Structure 1
Amino acid sequence: MGRIDTIDRRTDVVLLLFGYQSEIHGVTRLQKLLFLIEQETEFFQQYGEAVAFEFAPYKMGPFSEHVYEEIEFLDALGAITTDSTGDRRLFTLTPKGEKIAAEVESQLEPPYREELRELVDAYGELPLTELLEYVYSEYPTYTTESEIIEDLDVRS
């Protein structure tokens, strides 16, 4: 694989996220964290459409099919492992993935590194229900297809 010299793909964004939180419990959490990167960071404003996941309202709020494509690609690449227990999946960055994520991060300007780290620190370890309630409360236009909104404490 050639040297990474720019942040120019959705894959780079997923690797950056995993670089700051080496394991992520569940695809719903992964979807919401990537959604928040798009909604709440200057990083996304800088890199824009090249890294956009094109989220749309769905059963659990904001959803992008591209997230599944990236999971499959990174798993096939050996950058992450995917373990399933019941209906939950655990995604873990591998040593190979750590190396790639570090190289991607090295191409990122320090203010964006800090911004992404702060976002992961703020939302990455929240209980899933709290994360969903936050996303639903702050971004109600993405809840129109939700099948779980009645189960959440969402402010109008």
Structure 2
Amino acid sequence: MARTTARNIAEDLVLFILDQAGGQLRGATRLQKIAFLLVMEAGVKGIAFEPGKYGPYSRDIEDAVRRLSDEGLINTWEEPIEPILPSLMPAMPTQPIAHEATRVVYELTSAGKHEAKGAMHRVFDAIGFRPRSWLRAINIVGTWKDAPMIALLEYVYRKYQNYTVKSVIKDKIMRL
């Protein structure tokens, strides 16, 4: 039986994204934005997004990551990075902007790689994708998996401004 709930579609979408990204993806914001673009531009249905602190955000995707990790299908860890632009990091009223930031790394486990083989077909079967939509979805992941984060943010923020109304970095992104 095909998975059809938003929760399970979100899990399969995360597996699909990681599989198409070569088994690993860096950054929670990147994962959220790629999933958002798959919903908006490739026609994935059943996953809700709302305006969040850094643009489009889906609790469905966040919950799917947690469940996939609990099931041993993905590993996650944090790694230190330099901020993409220090001026994009919002300062807390009582704290200066941190010089070092972290990002989450998502990686398919062996079991996750096996499960991901069917994830694309389960998602696409559940929502009735046509081959053109499959190609669009594959292209979205391929385009944005390693693109500069600032380019991904600028694309999403300019094209989908109604999802940036709560963003703490909107003004900085829109000035680029």
TM-score range, shorter chain: 0.7 to 0.9
After TM superposition, the structure 1 = structure 2 runs for residues 1-156 of structure 1, keeping only pairs within 5 Å, are: 5-8=1-4, 9-21=9-21, 22-42=23-43, 44=44, 48-49=45-46, 52=47, 54-86=48-80, 87-107=102-122, 108=124, 111=131, 112-153=133-174
Q: Could you tell which deviates more after superposition, 78-87 or 99-108? A: 99-108
The alpha-carbon deviation at position 69 of structure 1 amounts to 0.8
The CA deviation string for residues 111-148 of structure 1, in whole angstroms up to 9 with x for no partner, is: 14322211111222111111000000000001111111
Q: What CA distance in whole angstroms lies between the structure 2 residues aligned with 1:41 and 1:18?
A: 17
The alpha-carbon deviation at position 91 of structure 1 amounts to 0.5
Q: What SS does the corresponding residue of 1:152 show, helix, strand or coil?
A: helix
- % of aligned pairs identical? 28
Q: What CA distance in whole angstroms lies between the structure 1 residues aligned with 2:10 and 2:104?
A: 20
The CA deviation string for residues 78-134 of structure 1, in whole angstroms up to 9 with x for no partner, is: 111111124211001111111001022355467143222111112221111110000
Between structure 1 and structure 2, the one with the greater Rg is 2
Q: What CA distance in whole angstroms lies between the structure 1 residues aligned with 2:105 and 2:164?
A: 25
Q: Could you tell which deviates more after superposition, 137-146 or 119-128? A: 119-128
Alignment length (residue pairs) = 144
Distance 1:33 1:154, change over 3 A: farther
Q: CA RMSD in A?
A: 1.9
The alpha-carbon deviation at position 16 of structure 1 amounts to 1.2
Contact 2:13 2:120 in 1 (8 A): no
Letter in 2 for 1:89: V
Gaps of 5+ in 2: 81-101
The CA deviation string for residues 19-47 of structure 1, in whole angstroms up to 9 with x for no partner, is: 101211111110000000000014x2xxx
Gaps of 5+ in 1: none
User: What is the TM-score of this pair, normalised by structure 1?
Assistant: 0.83
Letter in 2 for 1:118: N
The alpha-carbon deviation at position 6 of structure 1 amounts to 2.4
Letter in 2 for 1:61: G
Q: What CA distance in whole angstroms lies between the structure 2 residues aligned with 1:127 and 1:77?
A: 31
